[in-house]
Amino acid sequence: MKPPYHKVRSYFICCLALLISSVPCFAQRNFIFPPVEYISTKNGLSNNSTFCVLQDHRGFIWIATYDGLDRYDGYNFKVYNYNPTDTNTLSPGWYKSMAEDKNGIIWMTGASQGFYSFDPVKEKFVHYYYQPGNSNSLAGDIGDRNLIIDSSGLIWLSTSAGLNSFDPVKRKFELYTHHENDNSTLSASNIVWVCTDDENNIWVITAANTLDVFNISTKKVTAHYTIGSVEMPGNKSKPGLYSISKGANDNIWIGSEYNGLYGYNTKTKNWKHFIPDRGRKFSLQHDGINVCLEDNAGNLWIAPIGDGIYYYEVASGKFYYSDKPKTEINSFIRDKSGKIWLTCDDIGLFTYDPINKKIAIVRNDAEKKDLLRSNFIVGFYPAGPNEFYFNGMNGVYRFNTVTKNISPFKILENGKDIFDGNANWMVRQDSKGIFWICTVNGLVTYDPQNKTHHFYRHIENDTTSLSAQPNSFVEDNNGKIWISTFGGGLDLLDRNTGKFKAFKAHSGKNSIGTNFIQGMIKDSKGMIYIGSWSGG
């Protein structure tokens, strides 16, 4: 969220993980969030230079990197790279903002000319750019600027020539600019950054260091603000405005270059101003604010201009600070689970959990037989209000969230636990309460009522057996059982006969993209989505 004259920086997803270590400065010695997750090229990220991040309506995390657009499902990455022979691919460059419309299309702006739309279903990009002499095209350069989508689906773009709107249905552009001696127009035509509120307005930072409120219905500016005014007190000789973002509680947050952080509530019409107080503990210490995110509780995540991060706890009125990471954080998002994702320069992907504030780590202890037989945990399944099942490379385990007790979930054959020494990829229950466990040696079902189990294995030359090693399970809305496999395609189990039908990749229509399926999920409408190693 930087003005066009600001030095272009690489973006990264940084989480509050590194931030646990503190700085020799006020309000930082007890930064209250430990690390949750760190992701880099070692985990499959296409490039450690990442620019912006988005979570779509399906839960996928999208990261724009210097090598393309990455889709992350929590386990694996799919990368959409530039292909010079294919006009439907993304051009290389910096991409500063992303937004998803109501149809699931992702829109992106970047330092390369213009902006893009991306259809995740068709896996195609469309490039929109400035065309001199064509009034129905982008009006000017976007560069280090952003786009937003309003409630009606219009795309709004900050450009060097004015505020552009784009109707993706009609494919029509409109341009709004500064008009001399007309206070109902923008203060300047060079637009730096924009955001929407819930009152049908667009808040616009201009290159003239003004903050304008543009009404979408009337297409007129209803207010102009500058630093040094009654509403925004500060040093008017240093009026730089840096970023603007919509909060979770009718708040608009404005980061300045030299005057701290401003907030405005669109319901109460009240302003708030956080200024540096270097003589007081648990206070803001930086003059410049790069970006701010407000969570649902009203707490603030603040990235200053420079190193580190602040967390403002609204209940106590305290700022907590850490100077780690030693780089500038550029953007935040909050995903549907409440987890915070951060982007920053040359680090990788990080997340924080602001709800729990700390992570309980359970490790293998050879002296305690009720604990994990391995620290390698692949997944988990919430089987009840106080019970989780963990599956990993050396067993399946029950975990009681009240007693904190962990015990192996055992199924014995010939006196030996069939999960011990076995890689176990997934544990789930179906609508009848039957457990399904996908293991490296086959598919296991377990009936907790009758305490009986069945082991489905791949049998060579038997086309009605499990086709290959299973890795995920889905029960469709008709009660049918679908199993994804490593190399055998997609299997459908007939529960009455115990026989499988395999659906494998072929060159015709209505085919899966590859036989190497990574996993499956079912959405609220019953649609099953299949993720593969190379076929999408």
User: 347 pLDDT band (50/70/90 cuts)?
Assistant: low
Is 60 exceeded by the pLDDT of residue 6? no
How far is the CA of 374 from the CAs of 241, 389, 472, in angstroms? 52, 14, 21
Mean pLDDT, the chain, integer: 81
* Domains 18-352 and 377-532 alike in fold: yes
Is 80 exceeded by the pLDDT of residue 13? no
Which residue type is seen at 76?
Answer: N
Q: Per mean pLDDT, which of 28-42, 130-144, 182-196, 442-456 is the most reliable?
A: 182-196
Mean pLDDT of 282-311: 89
Topology, domain 18-352:
Methylamine Dehydrogenase; Chain H (2.130.10)
User: 344 pLDDT band (50/70/90 cuts)?
Assistant: low
What are the pLDDT digits (tens) for 426-482?
888 888 889 998 887 889 999 988 889 898 988 888 899 998 888 888 998 888 999
Find the distance separating the first CA and the last CA of the chain, reported in whole Å.
31
pLDDT of residue 244: 93
- pTM beyond 0.85: the answer is no
Label each residue of 365-431 as H, E or C.
CCCCCCCCCCCCEEEEEEEECCEEEEEECCEEEEEECCCCCEEECCCEECCEECCCCCCEEEEEECC
Is 70 exceeded by the pLDDT of residue 177? yes
pLDDT of residue 409: 81
Identify whether the C-beta of residue 308 lies closer than 8 Å to the C-beta of residue 324. Answer: yes
Topology, domain 377-532:
Methylamine Dehydrogenase; Chain H (2.130.10)
- CA–CA distance, 420 with 363 (Å, rounded to integer): 17
- CA–CA distance, 68 with 55 (Å, rounded to integer): 16
What are the pLDDT digits (tens) for 238-259?
889 989 999 988 999 999 999 9
Instruction: Kindly tell me the burial class for residue 403, based on how many C-beta atoms sit within 10 Å of its own C-beta (0-12, 13-18, 19 or more).
Output: exposed
Identify whether the C-beta of residue 99 lies closer than 8 Å to the C-beta of residue 149. Answer: yes
Q: What angle do CA 51, 81, 345 make, to 5 degrees?
A: 20
* Phi and psi at residue 20, to the nearest 5°: -65, -30
Identify whether the C-beta of residue 189 lies closer than 8 Å to the C-beta of residue 161. Answer: yes
Is 90 exceeded by the pLDDT of residue 85? no
- CA–CA distance, 366 with 108 (Å, rounded to integer): 51
- CA–CA distance, 397 with 395 (Å, rounded to integer): 7
What are the pLDDT digits (tens) for 131-161?
888 989 999 888 778 999 999 999 999 998 9
Domain ranges, ordered by start, for the chain: 18-352, 377-532
Please report the DSSP string for 39-61 in residue order.
E-GGGT-S-S-EEEEEE-TTS-E
